[in-house]
Structure 1
Amino acid sequence: MEIIEYFKLQAKNLHKDFKTQKLSSEEQSGKNRFRYEPKFFNVNALIADFKIDEEDFSLMKAQHIIAKLAGFEKWTDFPKASPPALILSLLLFDQMHKISIENWMSYISRVEVKNKTIYDDESRLDIFRMVFEEDDEYYGGKEYRLFDIKDSTDKLELTRQSELAPREKIISLPLEGAVRQEFIETADAVFKDVLDRIESKHPKLIRRMWNAESYIDNELLKPEMLPIDHYYALSLIDAFLVHHVIALAIKADEKD
């Protein structure tokens, strides 16, 4: 199992936990109170700490929470991340009980300021392993899981796969097979994020106009850009798609 697939599973598990929701009572304010029977995550703790709207929780929002627990700002950061960054995200998720994301970011920021440098992903991974991985001390972590994650997956095997199997460069178009599917799924996720940000007057119309397959096959990459690094090509979706969605929004407004 690849690291991204592993985190997809965690998001699905979190979503399953929320789907055990049952109405417990209704307050005088008219707000519902719910109870849960989770198997994977401490739902009540996540609700409190991440300010989750219990009446509007989707798989996409579950993915956002998992991304946060892994040290990313949003779910669409996963496919663009380098192998060392993905390994670090797995370690941070695995050791959430020991160190919080906030304390890790604060630590690495202080070290960068002290050494007057900005560390790359590989260096950050090395620092985490050297300072925190085998440390028995606790640094403001909080356990949101209801089981020991190390008993449910072979973390070392996931790490080894990422280190030994770097992505090849893209050398031909159109994209095919699993690579094409990865790019389509990433484009769909980025599209949803961009559409939420631009606050268009016609979101339903824009969704009907959007075609992730056509965008990946015909618009993102051009022959003159080849060869291109796999991860860099994925990052272009986040960089370029906002302009495409804005263009769709303008067309939607013109049809009003």
Structure 2
Amino acid sequence: MKTIEYFKLQAKNLHKDYKTQKSYFDKKVGSYSYQYHPKYFDVHGIILDFRIPEDKFSLMSAQHVISKFAGFNKWADMVKASPIELELAKLLFENSHKVSVQEWKDYIAHGEKENNTTFDDKTKLEIFTNVWVPAEDIESLHYDYRLSNINKKVIENMQQGSYKPKISKQITSLPLTGADRKEFIETAKSAFEQIFASIEPEHPVETRKLWDAERYVDEELLKPDMLPINTNYALSLIDAFLVNHVIQLAAKADDQAGQSN
């Protein structure tokens, strides 16, 4: 089966799951709602998280969702993709319980930054094949909507109409506010102390003066093109991204100390 045919099959399976839709009266909320008896995907969770009108989930909608799961912005981009890009997309789809699309993109971006280079598609495929495919005991922080990776009891409950899909808490707008902003700032402060102790800057006092946790959270950590993003995953990025930021602060402190001498 050609790779694009593989994704066409996934889209058809998702749409088949949607067509198991049945209306029922929910006594708790006092109105009619829908339940599903899916075989391949948590279609209810997909509809909620992707904000798709529950009565307008077409095959085209299913194709769009599948393209997102495979790392593309839209189905048309996938259709025009090269064989290497499609092979990587298939591996990403099949291993989404280990690494989500966003986690993979962040992993590649970090590797390119560390090596001061830009990986071509062949290199990306080799990295994924050698690093993520054989990886064990690794679980993505993002939700995997494929039923093949959901507990059998959950599937039984889903088919009986008693399953309540996991609704991941996501950040959908910036800047952060309220409790979310407070949690991110506290997490950044804690991470800074650990990194600060590990790198032992030559000018610790000056480096600390340059550190501003609130500014880092408000302006440096998250960007609009990263949204929507899972809240827990976004928190995990602090540890991944803050190291370089603290190193840059230490270097700036060194420069300032040299200028004053």
The reply to whether residue 102 of structure 1 matches residue 102 of structure 2 is: yes
* Cα 1:75/1:114, change in 2 over 3 Å: same
Identity rate, percent:
49
Which has the higher Rg, Structure 1 or Structure 2?
2
> Which residue of the partner structure matches residue 46 of structure 1?
46
The reply to whether residue 134 of structure 1 matches residue 134 of structure 2 is: yes
1:191-213, Cα deviation, whole Å (9 max, x unpaired)? xxxxxxxxxxxxxxxxxxxxxxx
Q: CA deviation at 1:32?
A: 4.6
Pairing of 1:1-256 with structure 2 (within 5 A): 1-25=1-25, 32-136=32-136, 137-147=138-148
Cα distance in 2 between the residues matched to 1:123 and 1:132: 13
Cα distance in 2 between the residues matched to 1:92 and 1:142: 14
Contact 1:100 1:141 in 2 (8 A): yes
The secondary structure found in structure 2 opposite 1:68 is helix
Contact 1:11 1:62 in 2 (8 A): yes
For the aligned residues, what is the CA RMSD?
2.1
1:8-49, Cα deviation, whole Å (9 max, x unpaired)? 011011111101111123799997521011111111221232
Contact 2:96 2:140 in 1 (8 A): no
1:211-255, Cα deviation, whole Å (9 max, x unpaired)? xxxxxxxxxxxxxxxxxxxxxxxxxxxxxxxxxxxxxxxxxxxxx
Q: TM-score, normalised by structure 2?
A: 0.53
> Which residue of the partner structure matches residue 162 of structure 2?
none
1:76-104, Cα deviation, whole Å (9 max, x unpaired)? 11221111111110001101111111111
Cα distance in 1 between the residues matched to 2:31 and 2:109: 41
Cα distance in 2 between the residues matched to 1:59 and 1:128: 30
- Structure 2 residue identity aligned to 1:128: F
* Cα 1:28/1:45, change in 2 over 3 Å: closer
Aligned length: 148
Q: CA deviation at 1:108?
A: 0.6
Cα distance in 2 between the residues matched to 1:31 and 1:101: 36
Cα distance in 1 between the residues matched to 2:32 and 2:126: 46
Cα distance in 2 between the residues matched to 1:72 and 1:32: 35
- Structure 2 residue identity aligned to 1:70: A
Q: CA deviation at 1:55?
A: 1.6
- Structure 1 gap ranges (5+): 149-256
